[in-house]
Each structure stands twice: as C-alpha cells, then as structure tokens.
Homo-oligomer: A and B are copies of this chain.
C-alpha cells in the first residue's frame, strides 16, 4: 500500500463518519473534507466542494458546487510577492453565500453575510467586511482589505495591497494596478502599492486605476476612465487621464455626508 493511499485515508473523513461529526449540515456528493474543519449548523454544501484542512465555516452558510475553501497559495519562483508568512485558516462567517467554483484561500477572513459569487477568488491574507458582495469572477488578491457593505461587481480586478473602505462600489471589469514599474527593475519592490478607496467611493465600469492612487470619500470615477492621480472627495473624475468634471450629485452622496462640501478632503 503506497504512502499516498495511507495519507489520503488519514486526511479525509469517510462519508458516514462525516455526517456524524457534522450534524445538521447538508453535504452534496463527492465533498472532500480535510482535517480539523469546522462547520456550523444549518450549512448547506454542494457537490464536489473541497474544504481544506482547518477551514472554519459558520452557521447557515451556503457553499455551491465545485467551490474550494482553504486552498494553499501556489508560489512561482518568479513571483514578485515573496515571503512565506504562516497563514491562518480560511474563515467564513455566519450566513455567507459562496458561488460555484469559487476559490477562497487559507488566511482569508470573510465576515458574516458576505456573498462570494461564482468563479470569484479571495486570496490569502485578506479580509472582507460583513454584508459585502464579491461579484462573479472577481479576483481579490493577497493583502487586500474590503470594508462592510461594499459591492465589487463581475470581473473586477482588485490588485494586491489595495484597501477598500465601507460602502464602496466597484463596477464590472474595473482594473486596479500596483506596479508603476510594470514588472521591471528590483526598485519596484520598494514601491508596490495598490489602490485605496475611501468610504463610499465608487468606480464605474471598465475604469483603470494606476498604482498608489487614493480615491477620496464618496468620489466617483466615470466609466472607462484611466485614473493617474488622487481623486478628491465627493468629486466626479472622467477621461484618460481622468480629470475632475463636477461634484457628485447631492442625492447620490451617503446620507451622513450630504452637508459637507464637495471636493473637501476628509
């Protein structure tokens, strides 16, 4: 009997034992459950799901077919992001929804009520605040923080080292960047920096945001813009390169801010 066969027997619970260990959890077919996985009551797990070792899943979670929770990163020898920080478990809070074929890495902390849609990825060393929506096919790279009640829509790319405040909106196919040196020179490793979105700011469809840009509170980037410099609070920017064109309409500001002045830096 080969080493591999023994290892797989140890690593995985047989179906019957599994159902005894996880009462009031519904498992689809061919689910793989690793060691020391925790699953709250009322959770429903689809077919062909993989829960890697130490994954921690809350109550009343729904995880759809083919999703993978607690994956360990792949590291290329040629990768720009070095370091082999010890990763905690993948953590999914109560009431989360995880779409088909989504991938959530070890070291991702996903708070209560978050929706991670089909084909989305959430990498290691990330945190997603409660009630946020991570859309279909979105990539949340490593070292990203997303606040509460955000919406990040289909196909948006949130590059490593980005920070997104509460109630932000990122429209479909938006691209964030973090490397002004475009992959060349050793110098670039000192300057890597993602995009910062302050509370309530919004980026419209297919915009491109250059490295290190700060988007101020409740500001709005128009669709298709290329943003090369910081965006003042509560202003709309547009074009390539994007320029300030007007204040955000008062009725689109977050309620508590509606009496502050447009353009004011928070």
Contact = CB atoms under 8 A, between A and B. Distances in A.
Interface of A: 1-5, 7-8, 12, 15-16, 19-20, 23-30, 32, 46-48, 50, 62, 64-66, 68, 71, 74-79, 97, 99-101, 103, 113, 115, 117-119, 121, 131-133, 136-137, 139, 141, 149, 151, 154-155, 157, 159, 169, 171-173, 175, 177, 181-185, 187, 202, 204-206, 208, 210, 220, 223-224, 226, 239-240, 251-252
Nearest to A12: B29
Given A4-B25, A97-B74, A202-B183, A139 B139 contact: no
Number of copies: 3
A131 to B, nearest CB: 6
A49 to B, nearest CB: 9
A105 B53 CA distance: 30
Contact of A251 (B66, B177, B185): B185
Given A2-B20, A7-B26, 7 more contacts: A2-B19, A71-B100, A78-B151, A169-B184, A172-B175, A208-B223, A239-B240
A162 to B, nearest CB: 12
Contact of A101 (B23, B103, B133, B154): B103
Contacts of A1: 19
B177 A204 contact: yes
A101 B48 CA distance: 12
21 contacts: A2-B20, A2-B24, A4-B24, A8-B29, A62-B74, A65-B68, A79-B115, A79-B133, A101-B103, A103-B118, A103-B119, A136-B139, A154-B157, A155-B175, A169-B182, A169-B184, A171-B183, A175-B223, A182-B202, A182-B204, A185-B251
